[in-house]
Amino acid sequence: MPRPLARIHRSIRAQTIGNLLIKSSGGRLQRRKKVGIGRTGTRSPRCSGFLASQQHGALVQVHYVHDEGDGTETSERIEADRDREIQALLLDAGYTAEILDNPNPGAVGVHVRRLDEPTEEEWQALRLIADRQVTHRPGASSVTGLADPDLFQTLFLSHLATTTRESDATGATFVRLTEAGEALLADRLTTGTGETMVQVLESKEG
């Protein structure tokens, strides 16, 4: 079921995503292993598998690497099929999993995020920012106007809030909503039936 208000980017870990893929695939998908020398001095061959890399706190990139016949058409097809399988497993687990069209070499694979609807505290933070009651002091992590300063970091990483160049009398700059933040706050407006504006628009389109 689509969740149009799910715009908050929650922190995820590459290790967690990797463990999930191994478990949900019944062990068919495994992490890629490179050529190496074990503790006993024996040479361990490299092995096809997925690589899960941490891009930042709220984004993990996963790509399957097929080591037999590197760069061949068959190898590329296998990698694309495995990436789609990885995408399906992550979608089933409730994550947002996107495969980019025509990605550059560094963006190949599945881009994984976990999106949630804002908590009540986050909705309140959005309203306070919209009312110009939140400021940020340049060169420091100090945020005033919010009960929990970490709320701004969450909204910032979710592309819902940012700082401005406009400052108050103390030299602190105002925090403002981005266009996405303004749209999200507007989407929560309810009708007399208790439906969000997003739900009303979706029902009309249907």
Tens-binned pLDDT, residue by residue, of the chain (206 aa): 457 789 999 999 999 999 999 999 999 999 998 765 555 555 555 678 999 999 988 999 999 998 776 667 888 899 999 999 999 999 999 999 999 988 887 889 999 999 999 999 999 999 999 999 998 876 656 888 998 988 998 999 899 999 887 776 777 788 999 999 999 999 887 544 455 545 544 554 55
Q: Is 119 helix (H, G, I), strand (E, B) or coil?
A: coil
Whether 124 and 111 map to the same domain: the answer is no
What's the domain range around 170?
120-199
Q: What is the pLDDT of residue 180?
A: 94
Between CA 19 and CA 23 the distance in angstroms is 6
Q: Which of 139, 146, 125, 126 is nearest to 167 (CA)?
A: 139
**Residue 131's domain is classified under what CATH number?**
1.10.10
Whether 30 and 102 map to the same domain: the answer is yes
Whether 109 and 154 map to the same domain: the answer is no
Cβ atoms of 142 and 33 within 8 Å: the answer is: no
Whether 17 and 48 map to the same domain: the answer is yes
Distances from the Cα of 74 to the Cαs of 26, 46, 109, 151, in angstroms? 24, 18, 17, 47
Q: What is the pLDDT of residue 192?
A: 44
Q: Which of 126, 131, 136, 129 is nearest to 168 (CA)?
A: 136
Q: What is the pLDDT of residue 190?
A: 57
Whether 28 and 105 map to the same domain: the answer is yes
Q: What is the pLDDT of residue 4?
A: 77
